[in-house]
């Protein structure tokens, strides 16, 4: 076992205990979120607070529905997430493909520019971005959320790396010999082979869009157009917040992520840290 040929000591109980307690501490807030989501407000605010699941989830959901157009907000979140994922995959595949297979003038410089955009802090353009959206008449329009960020540098980089390593150049050459034009090659030869990296980038993009808060905070003005996180926040008020309903909403916001994460944590982690570990 690899564990043992490293250390002369096997894994000690203290190590296990430390790591285990740490992991539980990380997960505990999620546990209580789900517990509180199923408890009425009076229970959450009783002494001692509930530590196990109750039966008030639907009741909480109904309270939430009186505060916000819940299904609409969820629908917008889903719609924006899917649109942003689809566009990002297409645009990043195009960009990554160009950098991976073509030789052209200013290639190095352009790639440098793409990479450098990762360093620009997002708040710098926040205010004028709002003005542009306003000018374009995109306030309260979902496209204001999915279009501007649809060609992220990180995605182009990820695609380029994948195409360089996984798509044989001979395949592209062969298609060219057969008289395929460049766009046909991209569509019929390259795109179908991008499945794995589409999975990774797609998940990252969808999660990012699903969690996005600042974007909708700036461009969405009416509650009917709010994405879910924004709607959820609007429920919180200085006095008399419906905590059970809020926890139910938070649980709904987190649940899809949890499911995605359970099934694809390795791929997600690899993708999210890809830019960093290139070395």
Partner 1 sequence: MFKASVPYLFLSPFFLLFGIFGIFPIVFSFVLMFQQWDPVQGFGAMQFVGFENILFTLEDPWVWKSLANTFWLAVASGLPQHLVAVPLAYLINEKLQGSRNALMGAYFLPYITSTVAIAMMFTTLFSTDYGLVNALLETLQQWPILSWLIPKQHIDWLGTPETVKPVIALVVFWRYLGFNLILYVAAMQSIPRELYEAARMDGAREWRIFWSITLPQLKPMMVFSLTLSVIGGLQLFEEPFILTGGKGGVEQAGMTTAMYMYRTAFEFNDFGLASAMSWLLFLMIAVMTWLTNRALGPQQESI
Residues from 71 through 130 that contact partner 1 (CB under 8 A):
90-91, 94-95, 97-99, 102, 104, 107, 110, 114-115, 117-130
Q: Which of residues 160-179 bind partner 1 (CB under 8 A)?
A: none
- Binding to partner 1 (CB under 8 A): which residues in 243-262? 243, 246-247, 249-251, 253-254, 257-258, 261
Q: Within a 10 A sphere around the Cβ of 15, how many other Cβ atoms? A: 11
Alpha helices for the chain (secondary structure H):
2-6, 13-37, 41-44, 57-67, 70-101, 107-116, 126-136, 143-146, 153-166, 169-177, 182-184, 195-211, 214-219, 228-235, 243-272
Least Å distance, CB 132 to partner 1, is 6
* Residue closer to partner 1 (CB basis): 32 or 53: 32
Q: Which residues touch 244 (CB under 8 Å, ≥6 apart)?
A: 36, 37, 39, 40, 41, 43, 44, 56, 59, 60, 63
User: Of residues 210, 215, 219, 220, which one binds partner 1 by CB under 8 A?
Assistant: 210
The least CB distance from residue 62 to partner 1, in Å, is 18
Stretch that binds partner 1, among 46-54, 63-71, 78-86, 163-171 (CB under 8 A): 46-54
Structure tokens at 65: 């529905």
In whole angstroms, what is the distance from residue 137 CA to residue 221 CA?
A: 12
Q: Is 29 in the site for partner 1 (CB under 8 A)?
A: yes
- Distance between terminal CA atoms of the chain? 28
Asked if 15 interacts with partner 1 (CB under 8 A), we say yes
Q: Which of 1, 108, 165, 170 binds partner 1 (CB under 8 A)?
A: 1
| Ranges within 181-200 binding partner 1 (CB under 8 A) | 182-183, 186
- Min. distance of Cβ 64 from partner 1 in angstroms? 12
Applying CB under 8 A, among 72, 143, 233, 267 the residue interacting with partner 1 is: 233
The C-alpha atoms of residue 242 and residue 61 are separated, in whole angstroms, by: 11
DSSP helix/strand/coil, 239: coil
The window from 6-14, 67-75, 78-86, 160-168 that contacts partner 1 (CB under 8 A) reads 6-14
Binding region for partner 1 (CB under 8 A) out of 11-19, 53-61, 62-70, 167-175? 11-19
Stretch touching partner 1 by CB under 8 A, among 67-75, 163-171, 192-200, 266-274: 266-274
**Counting beta carbons within 10 angstroms of the beta carbon of residue 147, is it exposed (0 to 12), middle (13 to 18) or buried (19 or more)?**
middle
Residue keyed to tokens 């009783």? 46
């Amino acid at each position: 076992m690899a564990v043992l040929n490293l250390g002369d000591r096997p894994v000690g109980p203290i190590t296990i205990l430390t790591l285990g307690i740490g992991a539980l501490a990380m997960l505990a807030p999620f546990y209580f979120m789900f517990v509180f989501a199923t408890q009425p407000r009076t229970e959450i605010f009783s002494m001692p607070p509930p530590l196990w699941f109750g039966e008030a989830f639907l009741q909480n959901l109904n309270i939430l529905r009186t505060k916000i157009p819940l299904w609409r907000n969820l629908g917008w979140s889903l719609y924006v997430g899917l649109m942003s994922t689809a566009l990002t995959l297409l645009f990043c595949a195009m960009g990554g493909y160009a950098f991976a297979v073509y030789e052209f003038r200013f290639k190095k410089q352009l790639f440098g520019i793409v990479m450098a955009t990762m360093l620009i802090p997002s708040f710098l353009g926040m205010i004028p971005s709002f003005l542009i959206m306003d000018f374009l008449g995109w306030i309260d329009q979902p496209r204001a959320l999915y279009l501007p960020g649809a060609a992220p540098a990180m995605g182009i980089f990820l695609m380029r790396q994948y195409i360089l390593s996984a798509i044989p150049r001979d395949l592209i050459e062969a298609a060219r010999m057969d008289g395929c034009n460049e766009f046909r090659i991209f569509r019929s030869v390259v795109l179908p082979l991008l499945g794995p990296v589409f999975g990774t980038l797609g998940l990252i993009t969808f999660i990012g869009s699903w969690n996005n808060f600042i974007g909708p905070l700036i461009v969405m003005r009416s509650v009917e157009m709010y994405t879910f996180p924004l709607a959820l926040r609007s429920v919180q008020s200085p006095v008399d917040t419906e905590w059970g309903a809020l926890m139910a909403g938070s649980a709904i916001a987190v649940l899809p992520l949890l499911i995605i994460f359970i099934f694809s944590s390795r791929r997600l982690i690899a993708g999210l840290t890809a830019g960093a570990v290139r070395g």
